[in-house]
Structure 1
Amino acid sequence: MPEESGGSVIGWLMYAFVVYWIAASWRAHLSRLEVTEDVLKRRAGVTDTQSSASPEGRSVAHDHDALLSEIVCREPVASIDEFLANILKRYETIIAALNAGDREVLLGLVSPEVYRAFEQVIADREAAGLRVETLFARIETPEIIDGTVDATHMEVSVRFIGEAFNVCRNAAGELTEERPAARRSVDIWTFARKLTPPGSKWCLVATRSGI
């Protein structure tokens, strides 16, 4: 009888040890899985907060703010408003040069690809004996909608929204439209410049309609 009792105790202890060992092994396995998943997320640059923010794991607003900060840091301006004021002047200068058919000014402000497109517009107007003048009634504050910055290059896409009168005259100086109406325009222009050498100017490299 005592031998049977001792055998039962030993059997129970062995059973308890096996159960404990299985439970401990399973907990260790789960812990390793959690650590591995966390390491993979960190290697991929993803956190729990980021993964719920956007499919790319990064906030678009944060990227935009970072872009604006980079522009201010790399430009000789005190604020992004000052930068946009300079870009607006360049926009108006380019439009004025295009309307005046001033090829020399355009060559210093736009890329070769954009220049070819603008030069064709000028040539077509000259062939038709037309002169165009753009009179802005209103221009909203430009808005940076996209851009990239690296060690050697900056590029920004800016949206310009305004209302303007396009006054067109024929070879005799007569208006082709008796009462020109103000037209709303939405343009997205992409400007780029090299960071080296210092002092490189912004150049218009692409244009498209914003509508």
Structure 2
Amino acid sequence: MTTIVVLALVFVFVALRLWSVLGSRTGHEQPLAKPVERPVAPRAVPLVGSDPAPAVGQVPATAPAAAAGLRTIASADPSFDAQRFVDGARSAYGMILEAFWRGDRESLAKLVDGEVADAFSHAITQREAAGETLDNRLVAVEQAEIEDARIEGQTAHIRIRFDADVAAVTRDRDGNVVAGSTTDAIPTHDVWTFSRAVKSPDPNWMLTETDEAA
């Protein structure tokens, strides 16, 4: 009888552990299938990458000025984890760039909001009118650092700087290279802001601002 009770308790413990890992959402999970299918973007920005979960106590690169804002966001949304956010932001950076380079408006609409979405759409339209295509490739994201974090009203905003290497090539209607290089990657420095209503049932973040880093 004692053995049966012990086994039952073990079963309940294992079931709870599986649920905590697989069945709960922290607010930043990446859908299991869609993010790896590059032609199809997931709904909004799933700010978690394919990297394994960070070690307990691991802290992302963060400017001192952002620390208080991150604490405020974590207080408003207990599921928020800064390291998971940064891991996911790195993945989102690549997905958004690739969607823009492909001219994939449908995917961008699920990843980008506001004036940024309008600017991306306008740039794609101009590119199509010129008969040009981008043969770009994100070589590596060297650094992703949170520069600022804040809550305005019920919306959280996190600004993150990306230092990356991109191989950028523009081709004309006939496939000839008109700009860029097929062999050399150039360093890029971007500052992107992701936003999310902290009380929203939708766990995903949207890109709402872009700028070049100073």
Answer yes or no: same fold by TM over 0.5. yes
User: Structure 1 124/68 Cα, relative in aligned 2: closer, same or farther at 3 Å?
Assistant: same
Specify the SS of the correspondent of 2:136. Answer: strand
Please tell me whether the aligned partners of residues 146 and 157 of structure 1 are also in contact (alpha carbons under 8 angstroms).
yes
TM-score by length of 1: 0.63
Q: Deviations over 1:61-102 (max 9, x none)?
A: 3x532333444562646x422210101111111111111111
Partner Cα separation in structure 2 for residue 132 and residue 103 of structure 1: 15
1:166 corresponding residue in structure 2: 168
1:128 corresponding residue in structure 2: 130
1:149 corresponding residue in structure 2: 151
Partner Cα separation in structure 1 for residue 99 and residue 138 of structure 2: 15
Q: Deviations over 1:148-193 (max 9, x none)?
A: 0367220011100111111222212222248443211110011111
1:33-72 to 2 correspondence within 5 Å?
61=64, 64-71=66-73
Partner Cα separation in structure 2 for residue 70 and residue 132 of structure 1: 40
User: Structure 1 186/172 Cα, relative in aligned 2: closer, same or farther at 3 Å?
Assistant: same
Q: Specify which structure has the bigger relative contact order, considering alpha-carbon pairs within 8 angstroms and separated by 6 or more residues.
A: 2
TM-score by length of 2: 0.62
1:87 corresponding residue in structure 2: 89
**Structure 2: where are the runs of 5+ without partners?**
1-62
1:26 corresponding residue in structure 2: none
User: Structure 1 182/109 Cα, relative in aligned 2: closer, same or farther at 3 Å?
Assistant: same
Partner Cα separation in structure 2 for residue 112 and residue 178 of structure 1: 29
Partner Cα separation in structure 2 for residue 119 and residue 178 of structure 1: 22
Aligned residues: 150
1:98 to 97, 100, 111: 100
The sequence identity of aligned pairs, in percent, is: 29
More helix by share: 1
Q: Which amino acid aligns with 2:104?
A: D
Specify the SS of the correspondent of 2:207. Answer: strand
User: Structure 1 101/195 Cα, relative in aligned 2: closer, same or farther at 3 Å?
Assistant: same
